[in-house]
Amino acid sequence: MAVEIAPRIVVDEKVAFGKPVIQGTRVPVELVIGQLAGGMTYEEVMREYDLTREDIQAALRYAARVLAEEEVRAVPSA
């Protein structure tokens, strides 16, 4: 059963090994972010994965939120 963890972003243990995906698709958020980071345009991602601009923006908002919550600790070098 899919559980919405953010607007338009869901997780389902039976889809993409339980990784966050765009609601109504099997497209993982990490794939969308990776394609944009790799140089694809919104339009290319939309066409390739049958997504809307709102789907892509939801993926970006979710990724930004996850990173904002991440705690990184500096480890002193030896």
Residues 9-46: pLDDT tens digits?
A: 999 999 999 999 999 999 999 999 999 999 999 999 99
State how many domains the chain has.
1
Tell me whether residue 59 is in a domain: yes
Query: Binning pLDDT at 50, 70 and 90, where does residue 74 land?
Result: confident
Give residues with Cβ within 8 angstroms of 2, minimum separation 6: 10, 11, 12, 15, 23
Tell me whether residue 25 is in a domain: no
- Check residue 46 and give its pLDDT: 98
Q: Which two tokens stand for residue 78?
A: 């030896």
- Check residue 28 and give its pLDDT: 98
Tell me the pTM.
Answer: 0.88
Tell me whether residue 16 is in a domain: no
Chain-centre distance of CA 68, in angstroms?
14
Tell me whether residue 15 is in a domain: no
- Check residue 35 and give its pLDDT: 98
Give residues with Cβ within 8 angstroms of 67, minimum separation 6: none
Tell me whether residue 76 is in a domain: no
> What is the 8-class DSSP label of residue 6?
E
Tell me the residue range of the domain where 36 lies.
1-6+31-69
